[in-house]
Chains A and B, each alone.
Chain A
Amino acid sequence: MPKFLEHSTVSWKGQQLKHPSSAIDRLDPRLRAVLTFLFALLVVSCQHYPALISALLVSLVTAMIARVDRKRTLRRVLAMDLFMIFLLILLPFSVPGDSFLTLAGLSASWQGLHQALVIILKANAVILMLLTLVGTMDASTLGHALARLKVPEKLVHLMLFTVRYLDVINREYKRMRMAMRARSFVARSDLHTWRTFGYLFGMLLVRSLERSERIMMAMKCRGFKGQLYLLDEIHWRRQDSFCCLLATAILAIIAGLELNSPLLLSNGG
């Protein structure tokens, strides 16, 4: 098996996506999280092309303002598209309607094609906005923002612990893989490989849990009682109010486009 297939195209390299600082970074993290959620709600409830295409354009422009790494962001968005590619290819053939193409006895319908296009537009607009507004945050900043937005405290603590351990476990995994490579282990499609991966994850658990027990004891020594005090500098500033107004206007325009567009095709979804 070629080496590049052994790992996904992505790997956890610490916290946020690296990018030059931009106007988006200076916005209140709470505002960014809430706006992304509202944008997703609006986009998912749209059904017509004018609104969906403008939503995708809004996402693209925001991504440019945020100065995200173009190649990496594009790769991630494409990877998401590949997740659903079978569903999208199948849709025109499985949704009944007026056929526009017959392939090997199966007819593809306009309605199915319409439905597939709508899904592609929605999914891409939402994921791009999510990567741009929230993905550019430090993971712990996101945790703090969620805590300020009244997400249950325990859940936020769990998230902060998880973010911390991601790095630990990733490094531990890499170290053990290197040890396996040093003993000339090559991943093949056989039982030996599968068993080895099983042991690998077992060992990973043993080592990280022992580590976590030590951390917990050290934290208790310092008086930890289940409460992490969140120290941060999240402040609402004038630029946030301005951005909030602008975003409301944009969301209103998208909603207006949706409500005013005539039915382009008989409604598929």
Chain B
Amino acid sequence: MHIVDGALANEVVIAGALLSAAGVAIGLKKMDMDRLPQTGILSAVFFIASLVHVPVGFSSVHLILNGLIGIALGWAAFPALLIALLLQAVFFGFGGLLVLGVNTFNIALPALLVYLICGHGVRHLNPKVAALWGAAAGALAIAFTALLVGASLALSGEGFITAAKLAFASHIPVMLLEGFLTGATVLLLSKVKPEILGVSGDRA
């Protein structure tokens, strides 16, 4: 999940930093003052969620929830996730400093993609339909993240290809868990407070 400093090739680290910077710049531009607290909250939710371990099979995995962050924030997911990852690196030593760009990109791009693919679906008026789209968003976001983590490793050298495959395989249970969990979250939100999902107040 969090890649450490020194593992990736310089080209990958630089590309990750540039792409993330572009994403963050667009995200900041689209985030107006009224959305600032909401973005801060989702950033904090991501931070806390990654400290929560949920049992899967015989072991446990920590939550990522980038699908949920994506459908709630859209482009603003880039700055939100950058801040959360920066705080985690600084105060908990998760990941590293220079790879922050790569780590942000690997988690925030899937969030954005999921927003573009499932954003419309989770606003469906029938909560059950919305929940199905939410589940798809949760699972897809992890699948994209796993692909990107694998790709950043594989692009850094031949020796990393086995590790990249392993990283991808280890994300499959997480995918199932996050899909189910995000589906349940969207079901609840669409019944209780659909505005979070972007449904305008009068329709709800």
User: Measuring CB to CB, which residues of chain A are less than 8 angstroms from any residue of chain B?
Assistant: 1, 5-8, 10-12, 16-17, 36-37, 40-41, 43-45, 76-77, 79-80, 83-84, 86-87, 90-91, 93-96, 112, 115, 118-119, 121-123, 126-127, 130-131, 134-135, 139, 142, 152, 154-155, 157-159, 161-166, 168-170, 173, 187-189, 191, 193-199, 201-206, 208-210, 212-213, 215-216, 224-226, 269
Contacts and interface: CB of A to CB of B under 8 A. Distances in A.
A201 B84 contact: no
22 contacts: A10-B92, A16-B91, A84-B3, A87-B163, A90-B163, A95-B158, A95-B159, A112-B159, A126-B97, A126-B98, A135-B93, A161-B43, A162-B44, A163-B87, A165-B44, A173-B52, A189-B55, A191-B180, A198-B184, A201-B68, A206-B188, A206-B192
Contacts of A204: 45
Contacts of A36: 97
Nearest to B39: A158
A130 B89 contact: yes
A168 B48 CA distance: 11
A91 B95 CA distance: 19
Nearest to B80: A158
Interface in B28-57: 28, 31-34, 36-45, 47-57
**What 5 pairs across the A-B complex have the smallest Cβ distances?**
A198-B184, A122-B6, A161-B40, A202-B188, A95-B159
Interface residues of B, number: 85
B177 A168 contact: no
Nearest to A189: B55
A195 B97 contact: no
A6 B61 CA distance: 10
B-side interface mostly? helix
Contacts, number: 268
Nearest to A177: B52
- Most A CB atoms within 10 A — which of B34, B41, B45, B79? B41
Nearest to B166: A86
B136 interface: no
Given A87-B153, A205-B196, A126 B163 contact: no
Contact of B7 (A96, A119, A139, A201): A119
- Most A CB atoms within 10 A — which of B3, B44, B48, B93? B93
B189 A123 contact: no
A134 B181 contact: no
